[in-house]
Amino acid sequence: MNTSHGIAEVNGTTLFFEQAGHGQPIVFIHGFSLDSRMWESQFETFARNYRVIRYDLRGFGRSAPVTHDPFDPVQDLKELLDYLNVKSATLAGLSLGGSVAIDFALAFPTYTTRLVAADSGLTGYPWLRGRPATEPAKIAATEGIDAAKRQWLNTDLFVPASEQPSVFARLTEYVQDYSGWHWLNDNPVKLSHPPAIERLHHIDCPTLVIIGERDLQDFHEISNILCSKIPGATCCKIPGAGHMANLEDPLAFNAALFRFLE
């Protein structure tokens, strides 16, 4: 497989990206505390039929750290696509990445061929049971980043993944490589306004919503909102999977995505 990678200077930052394959572009967007490596089980598989792009969000992986200057991850992605000469693409994001993909689809509909929101976040959602990363942030402030990472990996969010040693080993590696910056600093990210939760009916591209059967209740509620508010959304529940559906059951995840794309 012919793979290339590089660093794009865009929107006042630098973003690491990797791409492979030819055809219609698919952009994979990772979750919080992770990086583009989480798409390993999708990258090579989909590159056989598509041009696959994965990248590290600002502040994660091999992209530039976040500073205290406000920034918009949606604008980061738009300028990355321009840098790569991508006029439109399928956007596939998980958790935080799903939230970015949804905001992007609303901000730049002509760039968005299809939308895939997996175990997704959603700007404007009230997090009835608290944001999952709240407790690690408290621990980071009192006991340090390493303690926060240990607690984060032991949250209910990752229990299903922890039952598969090889999956949890990969997940642990990704989290260990995370800087922990967001646990010790106020996040200067610019949020969409009005928030996406109020504008989902404006999304007019084909949309796939994926949820792991064992994901946390808040993510199930977000999934239900997306399925009910986005016109014509296709909804898929992956049996036995938790929050990291693409890692925990890549065969089922990939099959659902292939069906949607075809």
Tens of pLDDT, residues 138-167: 999 999 999 999 999 999 999 999 999 999
Tens of pLDDT, residues 23-67: 999 999 999 999 999 999 999 999 999 999 999 999 999 999 999
CA distance 166 to 172: 10
Tens of pLDDT, residues 101-139: 999 999 999 999 999 999 999 999 999 888 888 899 999
Burial of 1 (0-12, 13-18, 19+ CB in 10 A): exposed
pTM above 0.85, yes or no: yes
CA distance 185 to 200: 30
Please tell me whether residue 210 adopts helix, strand or coil conformation: strand
For 13-54, give the DSSP string. EEEEEEEE--SSEEEEE--TT--GGGGHHHHHHHHTTSEEEE
- pLDDT above 80 for 1: no
CA distance 255 to 257: 5
> Phi, psi at residue 53, to the nearest 5°?
-125, 130
- Spell out the alpha helix ranges (H) of 56-95: 73-83
At residue 50, the pLDDT reads 98
CA distance 262 to 255: 11
Sketch the domain layout of the chain as residue ranges: 3-129+189-261
CA distance 219 to 183: 21
| Residue count of the chain | 262
Nearest partner of 245 among 235, 254, 253, judged by Cα:
253
At residue 242, the pLDDT reads 98
| Architecture of the domain defined by 3-129+189-261 | 3-Layer(aba) Sandwich (3.40)
Task: Judge whether 98 and 121 are in contact, CB under 8 Å.
Answer: yes
